[in-house]
Amino acid sequence: MEELESCISEEKKKEDHWAEYSSSKLTEDSVTSEDTLTWAAYHASDSLEEHPPAVTALLPLFYEKAAAHAMVKHGMDVLKHAITFLNLDQIPVITVDQPLFALAKMVQWKWPASHGEQAYVVVMGGFHIEMVLWSVVGDLLDGNGQPHTESRLPLLFKIDCIFGYHFRHAHQVTVLALQKLKSEAFSHSGDQLTTAECEQTMKSSPTFRFWNAILHYQMLVLLVVRAQRQRNFVLYVEALEELVPLFFVLDHVNYARWTPIHIRDMKSLPQSITEKFQDEGQFVLSRTDNDFSAMPFDQAHEQESKIVKSAGGAVGLTKNPIAFSRDCMDNEVAETIVNLDALGKSQYSSFLKDVIKDRTVAIGKSLKQNKLPLFRKQASRNKSKQSKTIFLLQNNVALFAQLYIAMQSRDADLREFFSHEVQPFPPSLSEFGSLRLPTAKSDLLKCLSQPSQPEPPTEVDCKVCDGAVIVHSLPVPGVMTFDDYAENVFLPYIRNLRSRRVDIVWDSYIPNCLKEATREKRGTGLRRKVEGRTKIPPKWMEFLRDPRNKQELFQFLSVKVAESPWFTVRKEVYITSDKLFLALNPFHQLTLDSEHFKRIERFTVILYDKLSPFACINDARMELFCKNNRAMDKLPPTKDALLKHVKRCIYQAGIWTSSEISQPVLPSPDQFAWIKEAGTWVPRWITIPEVSKACSELTKCSC
């Protein structure tokens, strides 16, 4: 594989000159028709060798599907006969898109004598490569907030096109904007930004690193396009090779697999084709006499095919400047930007070494995807309940098989087996690893005796109302704005309570609360800023599903109640913390040997089998499984899992016990079988490992 003479450094300077020239012209008061501001006009002004327009035509169409090895091989044979008839000594050059390129290379490697790389030159279409390169840059831009920035420029271009196929002009405008911002930011550095200063800024600012990377990649893609327009074969190969690592790092696996093969082919062309491509620039063609208008063969083919086929603002929305923070990159995204080049080049080098040079790895072997976090978050696929159940059953069957073998051939201890959970989470307490949420809490009240209550008096001194219940129960028909809702719905209801004093209690939404799992189960609603003149959302109940909506609504209604002339607010009372709570701590720590826990353990055994004589819940598990044929998911939890569950109950009961204290000082949940993962509190189910990892009798040989 022959290395081409490098020219990319000088060509990069030309792109920088265009950006600086156009930026300087934009600051002038007027622009004449002779000023070449656009990217194409600037480079078309260079004196280039003229090439006559090429003659293009379509061969007869095949009715069979092209994406098959047999059809690709047959098509290569047809082209061979046609080219041999027209030009006897010419090696056929075939330009195809990426899927057909893969099939054509397989044909060449399968039949090297008749269809090998010395008999045919198969080229991956430059037009399709350009499209996927812009798509890769679009992956980096997608979700970064740029559409909101440019949404006021509908006449220039639609910003959505930057992520689609009609985007070259959009990227050129972006390059000019970024180059201008970069020049203004480092104007103190003189005419040119030093490399050391640029690297230092990239280390200290992930935002600068990101936009500098976008500018760099857009310039490289423009170099690929310009190399084709100007028939510069060496520049085309060099610029494309610098962009290949992006295919690897951003999981474009097909182009990551086959573009290196395409580059290798371009560096090892037969001598006759090398002269045509490198010296005469015939790896592209011109359909017109216009300057700077050469195009790849596949683009010309698409134009011919078209002839044949043609017959047949965040702040304004939310009124909240903090809304811009959603467009800030996460730490994971910033780390992706920092390691993007290094990771892509490393994977590209490994691919070249293993697949092309050493040939120790097959070309068809699956490429591991990185799935790097970018601005556009990929929605995680949640497993269905059925698939989770099947997985647990498969795990149980495998475990029972190991247990059977252990009982037959080894001196296994069943007590040790049943003192461990089968899964990393107890099925009796959790639902596939998540906290089992209550469904009908009111059913628990049926077992309580109903005390006889006298009729309530007609007049009372004070009424305490649950504000959230009132909001959920009151209808909102005919209400247009939140002011209308407060004046015509909520306040009239409060006035009709007919009491000297009315206390309204609202829910509080504490971040990282243990109740987040319950709220997530309710779903998410449409976010809308609560202000007096804001329109009421048509789907009221969905609006109330968002905690942020309710928090703003409750604050809004509280202010309306305080400002109402029907109510007299004599003074505002600020409640301070009550330190008495520390002396009367209801949170009690249990151990496995505690008398209280032993009573709870015996009570749990009776819940599962009221005739069981066992006080130890692990013994009851073994008895229920061995003699009563209970399924594993129908057994009570182990002693270890039960202790963790009781601790969580104690923590919740302690919160309820201290409910009369205005601002209680609560201990940390991590002392009561909770653990923080990814900023969210989740239950800590067990402390001892599950049975498959703990019991040595279940160890199996993998030979």
Same structural domain, 152 and 255: yes
Minimum mean pLDDT range among 73-87, 447-461, 571-585: 571-585
* Structural domain count of the chain: 4
Residue 317's pLDDT is what? Answer: 41
Shared domain check, 611 and 495: no
Task: Give residue 512's pLDDT band: very low, low, confident or very high (50, 70, 90).
Answer: low
**DSSP per-residue codes, 236-252:** HHHHHHHHHHHHHHTT-
Predicted local confidence at residue 154, as pLDDT? 42
Are 206 and 338 found together in one domain? yes
Rounded to the nearest integer, the mean pLDDT of the chain is 78
Q: Does the predicted TM-score (pTM) go above 0.85?
A: no
Least confident of 117-126, 279-288, 464-473, 617-626: 617-626
How many other C-beta atoms are found inside a 10 Å radius of the C-beta of residue 179? 20
What was the pLDDT predicted at 412? 61
Give pairs for 307-312: CB < 8 Å, separation 24+: 308/58
pLDDT digits (tens, 9 = 90+) for 543-597: 888 888 888 888 898 888 888 766 655 555 544 444 333 333 454 567 777 888 8
Binning pLDDT at 50, 70 and 90, where does residue 151 land?
very low
**How long a stretch of residues is the chain?**
703
Which of 286-295, 333-342, 669-678 has the least mean pLDDT? 669-678
Q: Are 117 and 130 members of one domain?
A: no
Say if 499 falls within a structural domain.
yes
Let me know if residue 423 belongs to a domain.
no
Q: What is the pLDDT of residue 261?
A: 95
3-state SS, residue 431: strand
Asked whether the predicted pLDDT for residue 88 surpasses 80, the reply is: yes
Mean pLDDT, rounded, for 306-326: 49
Amino acid at 90: Q
Residue 317: phi and psi, rounded to 5, are: -80, -45
Q: Can you tell me the distance from the alpha carbon of 359 to that of 361, in angstroms, rounded to the nearest whole number?
A: 6
- Which of 509, 544, 578 is a domain's end point? 578
- What pLDDT is stored for residue 650 in this prediction? 84
Q: Are residues 87 and 233 in the same domain?
A: no
Averaged pLDDT, 339-350: 90
Q: Are residues 129 and 252 in the same domain?
A: yes
Whether 420 contacts 638, CB under 8 Å: yes
pLDDT band at 193 (very low <50, low <70, confident <90, very high): low
* Mean of pLDDT values over 469-493: 88
Q: What is the DSSP string of 621-643?
A: HHHHHHTS---GGGSPPPHHHHH
Domain that holds residue 599: 584-687
pLDDT at residue 380, rounded to an integer: 52
The domain boundary, picked from 542, 559, 578, lies at 578
**Choice among 102-111, 236-245, 400-409, 660-669 with the minimum mean pLDDT:** 400-409
Task: Report the pLDDT value the prediction gives residue 523, as an integer from 0 to 100.
Answer: 54
pLDDT of 296 over the 90 cut: yes
Residue pair 223/15 in contact (Cβ under 8 Å)? The answer is yes
**Whole-angstrom Cα distance, residue 560 to residue 567?**
10
Mean pLDDT of 604-630: 85
Q: What pLDDT was estimated at residue 584?
A: 38
Is 415 within a domain? no
The per-residue DSSP string of 215-235 comes to HHHHHHHHHHHHHHHTT-HHH
The pLDDT value given to residue 381 = 53
Query: Is 158 domain-assigned?
Result: yes
Q: Are residues 139 and 241 in the same domain?
A: yes
Higher per-residue confidence, 28 vs 603: 603
Give Cα 75 distance to the centre of its chain: 42
Kindly tell me if the per-residue pLDDT of 152 is higher than 70.
Answer: no
C-alpha span between 86 and 389 (Å, rounded): 67
pLDDT for the residue 99:
92
Low-confidence winner among 71-80, 126-135, 387-396, 648-657 (lowest mean pLDDT): 387-396
pLDDT > 60? residue 444: yes
Strands (E), 54-156: 93-96, 121-124
**Residue 388 is assigned to a structural domain of this protein:** no
Distance CA 572, CA 368 (A): 62
Residue 57: predicted pLDDT: 80
Domain assignment present for 702: no
Q: Is the pLDDT of residue 328 over 80?
A: no
Residues 160 and 301 in one domain: yes
With 90 as the cut, is the pLDDT of residue 125 above it? yes
Report the pLDDT value the prediction gives residue 338, as an integer from 0 to 100: 85
> What pLDDT does 578 receive?
41
Name the phi and psi angles at 464, rounded to 5: -110, 120
Res 214: pLDDT = 87
Shared domain for 287 and 148, answered yes or no, is yes
The lowest-confidence range among 161-175, 540-554, 630-644 is 161-175
pLDDT higher than 80, residue 122: yes
pLDDT of residue 40: 83
Q: Mark whether 77 and 118 lie in a shared domain.
A: yes
Rounded Cα distance between 625 and 615, Å, is 16
Q: Which of 57-66, 207-216, 289-298 has the lowest mean pLDDT?
A: 57-66
Express each pLDDT in 34-72 by its tens digit.
Answer: 777 788 888 887 756 778 888 888 777 776 777 888 889
pLDDT of residue 100: 93
Asked if the structure places residue 134 within a domain, the reply is yes
- Which residues lie below 8 Å from residue 370, measured CB to CB, with a gap of 6+? 248, 249, 250, 251, 343
Q: Which of 348, 397, 430 is nearest to 638 (CA)?
A: 430
Residue 93 and residue 232 share a domain = no
266 and 338 share one domain? yes
589 vs 586, 592, 643, CA distance in Å? 10, 11, 10
pLDDT for the residue numbered 159: 44
Q: What tokens does 87 get?
A: 């030009």
Name, of 17-21, 284-288, 586-590, 653-657, the range with top average pLDDT. Answer: 284-288
Cβ atoms of 636 and 618 closer than 8 Å: no
Any domain includes 564: yes
pLDDT of residue 156: 41
Cβ atoms of 135 and 372 closer than 8 Å: no
Query: Which pLDDT band, with edges at 50, 70 and 90, does 132 fall under?
Result: very high
